[in-house]
A and B are shown apart, each in its own frame.
Chain A
Amino acid sequence: MNSIVILSFVLLLTMFAAGGKSGIKSFFSLVSCCCVVFVTIILIAWNFPYLWITIISSLIILILVIYLRDADIKSANTAFLSSVIILVLLVLLVIPLEYVAQVQGFSSENSADLESMSLLIGFNFMNAAIAMTILSCLGAVAEATVSVAAGLSEVLSHDPSVSNEELYQDGMMIGKQIISTAFNTLFFGFFGGFLALFIWFIRLSYTFGEFLNNKIFVVEFLLTIISIIGVTLSIPAVIWLTMLERKKTSKK
């Protein structure tokens, strides 16, 4: 039997054991997100306008992650709106950044994988680099906005008369914790995903300078740092939107 099928089945079982019905819902949100990424890759490979495709799939992924959970609709709305704001900011940051960094395409470390491939494929790899960076940070942004929004809605439901200052303080408290844990998630993911590459660097005794300027290292580092910037910005964005939302409802 195919290992991936069995492993996915076990994932479904453990998610069910951990979260019951909502675990199954989360599993399906996960599968759908993967499918969205697959379609995005296919469309980009077929030369569809990459930026539009990336933005549309990002929105779909955000909807799948944020709304397919057990959460009150109001905090989900806040989380979604703030994720969209962060997404726009990150797109505006990533495009010039990738042009400065010039990290599109492959590096000499990839040469074994590139054997027998035609490299002159008339596809600008800058587009792939931008799409990759934007897609990879979405999960972290969605997780951060969801957690802060849920925390704040909890605070509001306990004490609807809480002052804006206190709400802000509570939001920051929640935010601090979320940033530390998100840092761990992202950096451990970074170390784990590129363990082989780091061993390669040390085994072939790259100097610190070669290491720091290496194309693949820079690509992966940018992916992680962009996610971190997204997570950090999520906190004030959610707090601000929650306050705005409150002002609107209190006026009515």
Chain B
Amino acid sequence: MRITTKDFHIAWIKLLLFLSLGSILYLLIVNDAMLYKTPLSQVIALSSKKKIYQTDNFNNKDYQQTQILKLRILNGKYRGKTVNISNTFSSSNAYDLQYHRGQQLFISLHSLEKNDDIIITGMKRDTTIFLITYLAIGLLFMIIKMHGFLALISVLLNASFFFAAVKLDVITHATTSNVLFIFGALAVLLLGITSLLTFGRSKQTLILFCSSLGSTSIGLLLSIIILTTTNYNGINFEMMGYVTQLRVPLYLAGSILGSLGAVMDVATDITASLFTLAYRTPTLRFRDFVQAGHKIGKSVMGPLINVLFLIFLAGTLPMMVLAMRNGNSFSYSFSMIMSLGIVQSIISGIAISLTIPITTFLTSWHCSRSKKRDVL
């Protein structure tokens, strides 16, 4: 592809537009304190006290340091007032942070007189979220143009249904049967939406939907049978994080949702390629389609299962480091912290590999049968 000066011209204007829109939005979000009901403040000056060194039971050397922060309140009835509060942090930053001038912090504040009551409840991170999302969307449109729009709509639709289901789960007080029913129905709904958005109203959509649903259900059923017959041996459900309801159904619901995307990924690859193949060479027989489908499935299976493994494994890294630095062995930390993520990845892996024969069979059957009547 040769790039002419004309192309460059347009690209420059677009880039400039992209950057200036970004800067305007950035400035708006930096100054959006009035949108928050929680008191928000900005660090305008700070001074640090001496470092206090200490060593814990496991011979880890660390220090703690106290900083006095002068905060200007940015919203609410105390807007414009300043308060002084102290913040203690360590060099590890495990459960604390060192603050710097210019950062915006959420605080809980009842009255200005009693400074001791004021505590920092968190940092304002919406600007970071905005910057990285803006960059991602910008790149998406730059590279795949308007097609990126469709991908975004799909994500937003799925996210809104997901939140609706979570809300429903909370409202209905999440009994065991409820949880599996709500999230099972959600899974079917999300599958339907995503299949429709991928292939439009066509036979391909139907095949994609059926094979993804079939393989996820069989994979999950198989996993549940194994888990119950082995009596969940070696899996520490009591170590599940953020639990507010019964653990096992919640965990299984998470596993179903987690594997859906990857299952659809393989199923889409296989159906799309086999339909193209059938379109190009309509004389192919069932066996040829099966062979072609398996070839595609084989090459994407490994990398795809790896995607989920790496996401779930890497996410445990900070907790693993903390556990091991607290004198726990690797195998103990593994069984306490990593086993849940590993099992979730294995369940997804089983569903993904089951997708290959199921999708290949369904698509090949359809393509080899319909060639005579030419219903593609």
Contacts and interface: CB of A to CB of B under 8 A. Distances in A.
B230 A196 contact: no
Interface string B338-351: 01011110110110
Contacts of B128: 97, 100-101, 218, 222
A8 B95 CA distance: 35
Given A109-B242, A135-B314, A181-B269, A196 B250 contact: yes
Given A45-B325, A126-B93, A118 B60 contact: yes
B256 A6 contact: no
Interface string A1-28: 1111111101100110111101101110
Nearest to B90: A120
B46 interface: no
Given A121-B94, A235-B143, A143 B347 contact: no
Contacts of A147: 269, 300, 303
B286 interface: no
Nearest to A64: B306
A245 interface: no
The majority secondary structure among interface residues of chain A is: helix
B317 A106 contact: no
B294 A19 contact: yes
Contacts of B22: none
Contacts of B311: 136, 139-140, 186, 189, 193, 223, 227
B226 A3 contact: yes
B194 A184 contact: yes
B230 A1 contact: yes
A117 B242 contact: no
18 contacts: A30-B305, A34-B313, A37-B310, A37-B314, A41-B320, A104-B93, A119-B95, A119-B322, A125-B321, A137-B310, A138-B310, A175-B144, A188-B158, A189-B307, A200-B243, A209-B126, A221-B129, A225-B136
Contacts of B58: 118, 121
Nearest to A58: B310
Contacts, number: 427
A25 B307 contact: no
A87 interface: no
A187 B155 CA distance: 7
A184 to B, nearest CB: 4
A33 B317 contact: no
Contacts of B326: 117-118, 121
Contacts of A8: 346
A10 B351 CA distance: 11
Interface string B118-151: 0000111110110111011001100110011011
Interface string A141-157: 01100110010000000
Contacts of A188: 158, 190, 257-262, 264
B95 A105 contact: yes
Contact of A4 (B60, B169, B239, B346): B346
Contacts of A187: 155, 158-159, 261
B370 interface: no
Nearest 9 interchain pairs by C-beta = A192-B258, A188-B261, A26-B302, A139-B307, A136-B314, A192-B257, A139-B310, A184-B261, A120-B62
